[in-house]
Amino acid sequence: MPRITDLSSFNEAREAGLAKLLPPTPRIAIGMGTCGTGNGAEAVLQSFSDAINQRGLSIALARTGCFGFCAAEPLVNVWLPGKPLVILQRVQPNDTAAILDDLTAGRIPAGLALCRIDEWDHITGHVKYGSGFPEIPLWNEIPFFKGQKKIVLRNCGLIDPTDIEEFLAVGGYQALYKALIDANPASIVESIKAAKLRGRGGAGFQTGSKWEFLSKAKADRKYLICNADEGDPGAYMNRNEIESDPHSLIEGMIIGGYVTGASHGIVYVRAEYPLAVHRLETAIHQAEEWGLLGDNILGRGFNFRLQLIEGAGAFVCGEETALIRSLEGKAGRPTPRPPYPADSGLFGQPTNINNVETWYNVAPIVVKGPAWFTETGSPKSPGTKVFSLVGKVVNTGLVEMPLGTPLKTFVYDVGGGTANDRAVKAVQTGGPSGGCIPQEMFDTPVDYETLAQLGSIMGSGGMVVMDEDNCMVDVARYFIEFTHSESCGKCIPCRVGLDKSLHYLNRITQGKGTEADLATLDELGRMIRDTSLCGLGQTAPNPVLTTMRHFRHEFEDHIRASRCRAGVCEDLALSPCENSCPLHMNIPRFLQLLKEDRLEDAFVSVVMDNPLPASTGRVCQHPCDDRCRRSGIDSAVNMREVHRHIADSIYPSPRFPDLVARLSALRKPSTGLRCAVVGAGPTGLACAFYLRMLGHDVMVYDSNPNAGGMLRYALPDYRLPKEVLDREVELIKLIGVDFTFNTRVPADISLNELDQRYNAVFLAIGTWKENWVYLPGTELTGVIPALPFLESVSKRETVPLGKRVIVIGGGNAAIDSARTALRLGSGVTILYRRERKDMPAIPEETEAAEAEGAKIAFLASPHRIVGSPDGRVTAIEAVKTRLGEYDSSGRRRPIPTDEIVRFNCDTVILAVGETVDIDFAKASGLKISDRGLIEVDRYSLETSRSKFYAGGDLITGASNVSGAMGLGKKAARNIDKRLTGLKRWRDLFPKFEYDQAAPAHPSDSRRHHVRELEAEDRARTFSEATVGLTSVEAMEESCRCLRCDVRTGDH
């Protein structure tokens, strides 16, 4: 074994290593970090090895560490002499044959290439791979790596971590050599100080100052400790660093030992990281053999021993005094400082502890100098930090970014946003010691001070992205459960305070919390933070304090409405589908009743939950689909179509009168109280139905001649036939709701009159006012707003429509307008300024429109409408947009380019959103919000005027049918509670006996879809475009339900 003692033996070893990295033959290196092997890298390696042997190929095969892009593992580096290094992604064992074919032919497998590297700056060394393959993007051109700067991860994924020669070839131990030759320890301490290198473990203390303390301490023996007991759940950069590049850690520690006078080093590694332990052991052994570690290092007379200790699983050992006690053979309970470890640490000797990543920054600073280091990052926090970006983002992995990079760069640019269309809600930084930063604050630069100001910390660099499916109360509870179980128990605030905090949080997630609990939690949190003995306790309340600060409404939802919007707190929901349903339909129940062949019971169950089941069965946005657990197996149960089927089976049948009688029998005895509902749209109808069922006299006022609101006057017939709606309205009339049509509020009847005549008034006026955009040319003939257009068509009025129609917008009204125009014989193009995935319309509707012949121009923002001299529309010009920064809705903002496209047309339909005509509410005593909507109490829906309630679009702005109906239902419940002073709501609903067992095995059938008429046929008619499920299909859908509502044990 060559022992390095001088420059020539050093250079010899480097040459040997370089010959391995850049051999005369092609080279394949498989990423074999734990992430890689967890994704099947072992099998890929085996497959390459077998094939190379079998074919007798002259190809070098090696293992390397992890290049950081975990979501694209297994990663394989391939290199052809003279060419760039190419990184292949998601390589599977059955890809290897083709890869070898390509390589032997001098090609790169095009489909698998992720990026190429022409040359690489290893900071202390440099490797030139070659040039070519311009069609493959450079590594830092692809979104995940763009903006990354690899200082700490300089060698990760590029060299074989078990081969010291390869490490030497890329400049390894160069800094150590320099330090020992220069023999000026004090100047290195000065360099570290000048570089303002801050501890990467979390607190961010100046490393140079700590080293200075230790170098000045007088003792026979001094210890250096590397804290690799990475315990933050959600952070795993240290594991990867050690697995992929163990020698850089060793080199940093030897230099640290040399300049501080420490002779003994200890690396304290988590036992949960077996591969890191193994690779570090190998590396220590190699370094000793090569004369780089142990006695007389590099022949310069310096001695340094390094020992590896496996931690046994205690998060608190991240605390330096606890780690020291652990090494002394005691339980890891922190001890007070003073004495500081620099004075009296391990076995009473002066000791310095630094985090893994801190040590990785040492060699670069020694070689390149402090000025180079401070070029990167922010003035107070120079350099880079490795973050583990995980959770609800597309690109997960380890990213090394300059400190001070804004949070949104991590989430949207590097992370690529969320995989599904759920909005990102928050990022949790710093693990159990950190906090949750809400989406509105994503401009925040990520550095020590700024995160601390927001109540979070940088910690070890964990970054967990959360979306709407994550409940922030649950997140707070989760972290307190964690710190509670990791608390050492020594000091009272942390031991008992966290126990009590957990108690309150548990209560809240079970719906048993009170408003007073929030105050108690807050006070307790502050007390634990201010009085705990060590960092664990002092930071443990951060997750609670930050979530209560930034997401208070979620806590209030749990407490006041027993509601967990994310559907995480299972005690608050019957099932995920029920929780997602704005009407909270007991979906598993009607599915089971149908399964038991009890159609009439199923109908009663459905109607009592949702008085317009046939209409919503056709037009609901079906949020239940996104939550169904069955989608983890194949795809969601088609719940919407099953209740459509149930309703459609009863309404036109002879059994209908019997069922009306059965529902009427459920009605509570008359209370003699009178309620008015203003607006006969879905919101008003829902409220009226329940108020009537509760025994009140109900009068519904509407300005139109018939009931249904938007369902009747805005939804085209092909989506919702009028006969279907008529039957549903008939049911509501039959149970005793009265209507007064053609009556406007307040023109025909004033609010004061309503106030005098009724005990309660519910306002449910829809969004009938079309937003108008400022656009040159909107005054031209042929420019029409969407809603009046749809209304005229559904009233069978003749609408003057041209041959070439442009629709502006991307919501349901835009798609409805387009499909309606198609049916009237026009050609249609939709202009939308964002991308397809940003469209608010129901995706199936958009697809149907395209199938019927509508064209959609994405990234096109209307610029002006061009008219003829006689004032008629002739064309529209749109600016092509490109996508810029992410806005507060989590979508990328369209930015205009110079390119203008022109569409010739004779009609322009504006469907850019609708608003409420709020004029009626002025001077009525009703408070109006900043958004121009009626202000109500979020929980009771009471307005500022007593007796008056409001719901639907009037309080939310334009929304969807089920969401609006949900508010109508909620209003009825609150109005009844106020009028009678009783909690009668639950008694209204009939009990059903049905099987309470989850299926032992999921049924085999696949999701049934509705049948659509052929696009060509349906585009010519206003008849309904889809045919509902058959009885057999509906039954099979019911059998697919996994029955998440069934609870085992006593929940």
Which two three-digit tokens encode residue 885? 């920064």
The nearest distance, CB 521 to other proteins, in angstroms, is 11
Beta bridge partners of 865: 876
Region near other proteins per CB under 8 A, out of 116-124, 270-278, 782-790, 1024-1032: 270-278
Q: Which part of the chain contacts other proteins (CB under 8 A), choosing from 44-52, 81-89, 207-215, 484-492?
A: 484-492
Asked if residue 684 lies in contact with residue 968, where contact means CB atoms within 8 angstroms, the answer is: yes
Stretch that binds other proteins, among 57-65, 462-470, 690-698, 848-856 (CB under 8 A): 462-470
Task: Enumerate residues 710-749 that contact other proteins by CB under 8 A.
Answer: none
Tally of CB atoms within 10 A around 596: 15
**Tokens for 468?**
């709407």
Alpha carbons 709 and 688: distance in angstroms, whole number: 14
Q: How far is the CB of 34 from other proteins (least distance, A)?
A: 6
Q: What is the spatial distance between Cα 257 and Cα 253, in angstroms, rounded to a whole number?
A: 6
Least Å distance, CB 346 to other proteins, is 6
Q: By CB under 8 A, which span of 206-214, 263-271, 690-698, 926-934 interacts with other proteins?
A: 263-271
| Cα 466 to Cα 427: distance, rounded to the nearest angstrom | 6
**Among 266-274, 609-617, 742-750, 775-783, the segment contacting other proteins (CB under 8 A):** 266-274
* Binding range to other proteins, per CB under 8 A, among 491-499, 610-618, 659-667, 1016-1024: 491-499
- The nearer residue to other proteins, 437 or 790, going by C-beta atoms, is 437
**Which tokens is 835 given?**
């991308």
Question: Is the Cβ of residue 346 or residue 663 nearer to other proteins in the bound state?
Answer: 346
Among positions 340-379, residues that touch other proteins (CB under 8 A) are 346-348
Question: Helices 472-486 and 552-560 sit at what angle, rounded to 10 degrees?
Answer: 100
Whichever of 488 and 751 has its CB closer to other proteins, that residue is 488
Amino acid (1-letter code) at residue 535: G
Nearer to other proteins by Cβ, of 496 and 1013: the residue is 496
Q: Which is nearer to other proteins, 456 or 907 (CB)?
A: 456
Contacting residue, 77, 378, 388, 450, with other proteins by CB under 8 A: 388
> Rule CB under 8 A: which of 317-336 touch other proteins?
326-333, 335-336
What span, in angstroms and rounded, lies between the C-alpha atoms of 397 and 117? 19
Asked if 56 contacts 25 with a C-beta cutoff of 8 angstroms, the reply is no
390 by Cβ neighbours in 10 Å (0-12 / 13-18 / 19+) ranks as buried
Paired strand residues for 355: 227
Between 332 and 777, CB nearer to other proteins: 332
How many CB atoms neighbour CB 153 within 10 A?
27
Number of residues that bind other proteins (CB under 8 A): 92
Indicate the residue type of 284: I
Binding of other proteins by 400 (CB under 8 A)? no
CB of 142 to other proteins, least distance (A): 17
- From the CB of 199, what's the least distance to other proteins, in Å? 18
Min dist CB 35 to other proteins, Å, is: 6
Q: Which residues pair with 266 in a beta bridge?
A: 225, 307
Residues 166-185 close enough to bind other proteins by CB under 8 A:
none
Q: Is the dihedral of CA 1039, 1040, 1045, 1046 positive or negative?
A: positive
| DSSP line for 420-472 | SSPPEEEEEESGGGSEEEEGGGTT-B-SHHHHHHTT---TT-EEEEEETTS-H
Report the nearest approach of other proteins to the CB of residue 57 (Å): 31
Among 488, 751, 807, 909, binds other proteins (CB under 8 A): 488
What's the min distance (Å) between Cβ of 523 and other proteins?
7
Q: What is the DSSP string of 228-297?
A: E----TT--HHHHHHHH-HHHHHHHHHHHHHHHT--EEEEEEETT-HHHHHHHHHHHHHHHHTTSSEEEE
Least distance (Å) from other proteins to the CB of residue 919?
A: 46
The DSSP annotation for 961-1012 comes to HHHHHHHHHHHHHHHHHHHHSS--GGGGSPP--------SS--SPPPP-PEE
Q: What is the smallest separation between the CB atom of 403 and other proteins, expressed in angstroms? A: 21
Distance, CA of 783 to CA of 774 (rounded, Å): 13
Query: Looking at 181, 186, 492, 901, which residue binds other proteins (CB under 8 A)?
Result: 492
Segment near other proteins (CB under 8 A), from 499-507, 588-596, 748-756, 829-837? Answer: 499-507
Longest dimension (CA), the chain: 104
Structure tokens belonging to residue 612: 């317009």
CB of 614 to other proteins, least distance (A): 34
DSSP state of 304: E
Measured from the CB atom, the residue of 754 and 1042 that comes closer to other proteins is 1042
Nearest Cα to Cα of residue 600 among 542, 527, 655 = 655
Find out whether 167 and 159 touch, Cβ atoms under 8 Å. yes
- Using CB under 8 A as the binding rule, whether residue 466 contacts other proteins is answered as yes
- Closest approach of Cβ 166 to other proteins, in Å? 24
Taking the complex as a whole, the smallest distance from the CB of residue 46 to other proteins amounts, in Å, to 16
User: What's the rounded Cα separation, in Å, for the pair 929 and 1000?
Assistant: 52
Given candidates 300, 490, 769, 872, which one binds other proteins under the rule CB under 8 A? Answer: 490
CB of 282 to other proteins, least distance (A): 18
Chain positions 126 to 145 lying near other proteins, rule: CB under 8 A, are none
Q: Which of residues 222-241 bind other proteins (CB under 8 A)?
A: 223, 230-236, 238-239
Q: Does 431 bind other proteins (CB under 8 A)?
A: yes
Residues 22-81 that bind other proteins (CB under 8 A): 34-35, 37-39, 70-71, 73
The least CB distance from residue 334 to other proteins, in Å, is 9
Residue 315 touches other proteins, criterion: CB under 8 A: yes
Q: Between 229 and 976, whose beta carbon lies closer to other proteins? A: 229
Enumerate the β-bridge partners of residue 866. Answer: 875
Looking only at residues 506 through 565 of this chain, which bind other proteins when binding is defined by CB under 8 A?
A: 520, 523-524, 527, 530-533
In sign, the C-alpha dihedral spanning 486, 489, 492, 497 is: positive
Torsion of CA 205, 210, 211, 214, to 10 degrees: -160
Distance of CA 720 to the CA centre of its chain: 34
Binding string, residues 859-898; x marks residues near other proteins by CB under 8 A: ----------------------------------------
- Give the span between the Cα atoms of 172 and 153, in whole angstroms: 13
- What does the block give as tokens for 76? 């394989």
Question: Given the complex with other proteins, which of 234 and 1028 has the nearer CB atom?
Answer: 234
The dihedral over CA atoms of 749, 751, 757, 760, expressed in degrees to the nearest 10, equals: 130
Instruction: Tell me whether residue 485 or residue 889 sits nearer to other proteins (CB atom).
Output: 485
Q: Which is nearer to other proteins, 173 or 273 (CB)?
A: 273
**Which neighbouring-strand residues pair with 676?**
699, 761
What is the smallest separation between the CB atom of 1001 and other proteins, expressed in angstroms? 10
Q: Amino acid letter at 931?
A: R
Distances (CA, A) of 178 to 182, 357, 608: 6, 21, 81
Instruction: Give 13's contacts (C-beta < 8 A, 6+ positions apart).
Output: 2, 4, 164, 165, 168, 290
Residue 278 in the binding site for other proteins (CB under 8 A):
no
Kindly state the smallest distance separating residue 451's Cβ from other proteins, in Å: 16
Residue position matching structure tokens 């003035």: 379
Q: Which stretch binds other proteins (CB under 8 A): 392-400, 792-800, 879-887, 970-978?
A: 392-400
Stretch that binds other proteins, among 250-258, 264-272, 442-450, 873-881 (CB under 8 A): 264-272
User: Which positions from 630 through 659 interact with other proteins, judged by CB under 8 A?
Assistant: 632-633
**Among residues 317 and 620, whose Cβ is nearest to other proteins?**
317
Q: How far is the CB of 213 from other proteins (least distance, A)?
A: 17
